[in-house]
Amino acid sequence: MTTFDRAALDALPIAPGATGAIRERAFGQFEALPTPSSETEEWRYTDLSDFSLDFVPHMPGHDGGAPAPETGGLAASMIQHNSSVVMTTSGQDLDARGVIFCDLDVAAEKYPHLVEPHLHALVPTDRTRFTALHGAFRTGGTFLYVPADVAVEMPLQTLTYLDADGAAVFPHTLLVAERGAEVTFIDRYASPDLGRGLSDAIVEIVVGDGAHVRYASIQEWGAGVTHLAVQRATVGRDADFRSLAVGFGASLSRAEAETVLAEPGGFSEMLGVFFADDDQHFDHRSVQDHVAPNCTSDLLYKGALRDESRAVFSGWVHVRPGAQKTDAMQTSRNIVLSERAKADAIPNLEIEANDVRCGHAASVGPVEEETLFYLQSRGIPRDEAERLVVTGFFQEVLDRVTLEEVRHGAELAIQEELRRAI
């Protein structure tokens, strides 16, 4: 059953500009598309055939409804509470340099020429039933636009906070960095533990020629939340894109991260750390799509699993015909901390050019009992020893995060998660 019907659609706040047409089209697609079947390769590890779409379709937020995040070290920040953007801070300096950072719906009204060419261009609404649902019911979201040759030194951040039990949110980030621009953006998702909740998220990132974009997502949804996310970035000529995904929360999280190396000389780094416990189910999917020659991509995902959790990593490296001199690497490492946890890894390669360097590596294994024993023999309690080992395991990823604010934020989130879980 679903509560996402015509009446609910008609009850949404008016969609500005072109988003009205997107909303209508997406609703039609949502009604027509089937729930993805676990019979298909893409969904074989996440079965949503019995997933009920019985959620409050729209839950207005209010100012002060979300805990104010720490904003030190940030150039600007935004808060979305449930379905509404409730606060945006933006420095004078950013406005003066032409940087736009605001509610996506506001942007669709005020800057249609900047929003329309990109909204749902990388992640079309008809990709799946869930992206269609997103296209139909999204309100709020983040628009970040950086004009050519403008460098924003400090990161910008959006916190999406959900606290209404049984509600759905549709976080959307549309980030456009023009030629030669530089920017860092952080998406944070958080909620208390809920009976049920749905986060149906889309992130679209356009990295212009010669631009440098860093993107981090920190997912700390509470228990009860189902997080279905699609992130897709396209990288221009001689541009670089570095992303970090930190995943701790939600009962079920299925996160797809895709980078298209569309023009020669592009670089993509995709880092991920995740920690699963209780009966959490994580399904991470990645794509490194080398369309143009002379591009480099490097992916490293590390995960630790405890209790009865389950984590799947499936990655794809595509090297398209003509994408010569590609250098692509894909690594998935998993440690399993308890006997009922399950980890799967499927690092795929599809290579249609010959002058390439491609590799992948995957491993799944236990924490070495000797390591724990050594730490314990030095008087460190077992829990603390386990925390140390996991921290060390993740450190390889964090060491590659160059921006201090981002790394520090991720480290804090990891420490908090480990203290809670172990």
Partner 1 sequence: MVISQEEHLKELSKDYRFDWKDESHSVFEPKRGLSKAVVEEISGLKNEPDWMRKRRLKALEHFDARPMPWWGADLSDIDFANIFYFIRSTEKMAANWEDLPEDIKGTWDKLGIPEAEKKYLGGVSAQYESEVVYHKIKKELDDIGVLFTDMDSALRDYPDLVKEHFGTIIPSNDNKFAALNTAVWSGGSFIYVPPGVQVDIPLQAYFRINAENMGQFERTLIIADEGSYVHYVEGCSAPIYSSDSLHSAVVEIKAMKGARVRYTTIQNWSTNVYNLVTKRAAAYEGAVMEWVDGNIGSKVTMKYPSIYLLGQGARGEILSVAFAGKGMHTDAGGKAIHAAPYTTSVINSKSVSKDGGRTGYRGLVRVEPDAHHAKSTVRCDALILDDESRSDTYPYIEVEDETASLGHEATVSKVGDDQLFYLMSRGLSEAEATAMIVNGFIEPITRELPMEYAVELNRLIELQMEGSVG
Q: Which residues bind partner 1 (CB under 8 A)?
A: 41, 321-322, 324, 334, 336-366
The residue (of 154 and 329) whose beta carbon lies closer to partner 1 is 329
The residue (of 167 and 358) whose beta carbon lies closer to partner 1 is 358
Q: How far is the CB of 344 from partner 1 (least distance, A)?
A: 5
Burial letters 311-330, b for 16+ CB under 10 A, else e: bbbbbbbbbbeebebbebbb
The residue (of 120 and 387) whose beta carbon lies closer to partner 1 is 387
Q: How far is the CB of 378 from partner 1 (least distance, A)?
A: 24
Please choose, from the candidates 142, 230, 151, the residue with its C-alpha nearest in 3D space to the C-alpha of residue 186.
Answer: 142
Q: How far is the CB of 327 from partner 1 (least distance, A)?
A: 11
CB 227 within 8 A of CB 197: no
The residue (of 48 and 362) whose beta carbon lies closer to partner 1 is 362
Question: How many residues in the chain?
Answer: 422
The residue (of 101 and 275) whose beta carbon lies closer to partner 1 is 275
Q: Which DSSP symbol is given to 262?
A: -
The residue (of 19 and 334) whose beta carbon lies closer to partner 1 is 334
The residue (of 148 and 346) whose beta carbon lies closer to partner 1 is 346
CB 207 within 8 A of CB 213: yes
CB 336 within 8 A of CB 365: yes
The residue (of 153 and 339) whose beta carbon lies closer to partner 1 is 339
Residues 6+ apart with CB under 8 A from 408: none
Strand (E) or helix (H) holding 380: none
Q: How far is the CB of 324 from partner 1 (least distance, A)?
A: 7
Q: How far is the CB of 363 from partner 1 (least distance, A)?
A: 5
Q: How far is the CB of 264 from partner 1 (least distance, A)?
A: 16
Burial of 278 (0-12, 13-18, 19+ CB in 10 A): exposed
Structure tokens at 23: 């909303």
Burial of 167 (0-12, 13-18, 19+ CB in 10 A): buried
Q: How far is the CB of 355 from partner 1 (least distance, A)?
A: 5
Please give the Cα distance from 174 to 118 (Å, whole number): 8
Structure tokens at 257: 């991260």
Rg of the chain over Cα atoms, rounded to whole angstroms, equals 21
CB 325 within 8 A of CB 294: yes
Structure tokens at 84: 């509404």
Q: How far is the CB of 336 from partner 1 (least distance, A)?
A: 4
